[in-house]
Every structure is written in structure tokens, then in C-alpha cells.
Amino acid sequence: MRRWLAWAAVASVGLVAVLFVAGLPLHTYLQQRSALQAAQSQAQSLAAQKRQLDAEIARLGSNAEVERLARQYYGLVMPGEQAFAILPAPSPQPSAPPRPAPRRRGPSPHPGLLSRLLSEFAF
């Protein structure tokens, strides 16, 4: 009976050792695989963004697009042209709301907490 318990204890320790030795690399492998998938997803996103930027570079390389942007955003004109700015009509000024009546500076009908406390205590 004692021999069987000793073999069971040795087998249990051996099984725990095998699980420990195999478990750590497995955990590391799963973490690395997850990090690799995240990096691949980010690389695909960056590649799509690069394609969009390359298309914009090609579009901005044309003289017609540069001229259009200069006219639209900076109001530039070609030599001999005149630029006109059409402003919106002025909006009517709203009438000012009536001003409240000025406050009287006399003693207030209801004294505040501090004045009530000071009146209670004589120094």
C-alpha cells in the first residue's frame, strides 16, 4: 500500500512538472499568436491608408487640382482676372432686453446667517 502511494505521489509530481513545462511555452505561444494577428491587422489598415494617400498625391500632382485648391481655399486668381467677394446680407440687430431695475443698497429685510449669529453673541 505504501509503495502504491509513493508511486502515485511521484506520478502526480511528474504530471504537474510536465504540465508546468508544457504550459508556459503554450501560454507564450498563444500570446505571440494574438500579437501577430493584431500586427497583421494593423499592417492591413496601414496599407489601405497608404493606398489612399498615394491616390491623393497623384491627384494633387496635377496643375488643375492645384489651381482649384488655390482658388477655393486661398482666393487666388490668375493674372488678368478680378476676384469678387460676395458677403451675406447683414442680419437685423435684435433689440436689447430691458435692463433690470438697480438694486437698493439699504439694509436687507432679511439678515443673513452671519449677521444673525453676530447679533446673538456679544463680544
Average pLDDT, the chain: 82
Residue 105, domain member (yes or no): no
Residue 123, domain member (yes or no): no
If one counts the domains in the chain, the total is 1
d(CA 18, CA 90): 84
pTM for this entry: 0.43
- Model confidence pLDDT, tens digit, residues 62-72: 899 989 998 88
- Model confidence pLDDT, tens digit, residues 26-75: 788 889 999 999 999 999 999 999 999 999 999 888 899 989 998 888 88
Residue 115, domain member (yes or no): no
H-run or E-run covering 46: helix 2-60
Residue 106, domain member (yes or no): no
Residue 6, domain member (yes or no): yes
Residue 109, domain member (yes or no): no
Helix axes 2-60, 63-74, angle to 10 degrees: 90
Residue 44, domain member (yes or no): yes
Measured CA distances, 113 to 105, 109, 110, 119, 121 (Å) = 18, 13, 9, 10, 13
Residue-range definition of the domain harbouring residue 23: 1-77
